[in-house]
Structure 1
């Protein structure tokens, strides 16, 4: 499973999401939208809100995506 989180350091929900992932020992790739290339990636996906997270099954290449921070949904999907 490959998890990517688009976030910024000034977004409270982003900080909460990253803390939740860390506390649950879930590895992820962070893409801080303060960097133009990551902001552009997000814009190209049509996403205007952060945090935005993708979960890719590396075997099937299926991708789930989530906007915002919802611990209940995260627990159901990742734990």
Structure 2
């Protein structure tokens, strides 16, 4: 099974959309809100500077690729 980690921030409509989408499709995810400095630093270590930033099976996704996410979690 694939694993997804989402780096988010407050008041981020795309972050909210992605979290709601995954929840609606019963996909478990790990959320790391970058208001917490350790998570912000982790994201910056990936050279990522915008949210949502996604790690799909530990591979960085610099722009959200819904097709790739759907395929990883068998969402039709």
Check whether TM > 0.5: yes
Residue of structure 1 equivalent to 2:19:
18
Give the SS at the match of 1:26.
coil
Tell me the C-alpha RMSD between the 2 structures: 1.6
Is residue 37 of structure 2 the alignment partner of residue 36 of structure 1? yes
**TM superposition score normalised by structure 1:** 0.78
**Partner Cα distance (1:17, 1:35) in 2:** 20
Q: Is the 8 A contact 1:13 1:69 kept in 2?
A: no
Per-residue CA deviation, residues 50-69 of structure 1 (Å, 9 max, x unaligned), is 1011122xxxxxx3332344
Residue of structure 2 equivalent to 1:74:
69
Residue of structure 2 equivalent to 1:65:
60
The structure with the largest strand share of the pair is 1
**TM superposition score normalised by structure 2:** 0.81
Taking a change above 3 Å as real, the CA distance of residues 78 and 18 of structure 1, as seen in their structure-2 partners, is: same
**Partner Cα distance (1:14, 1:2) in 2:** 17
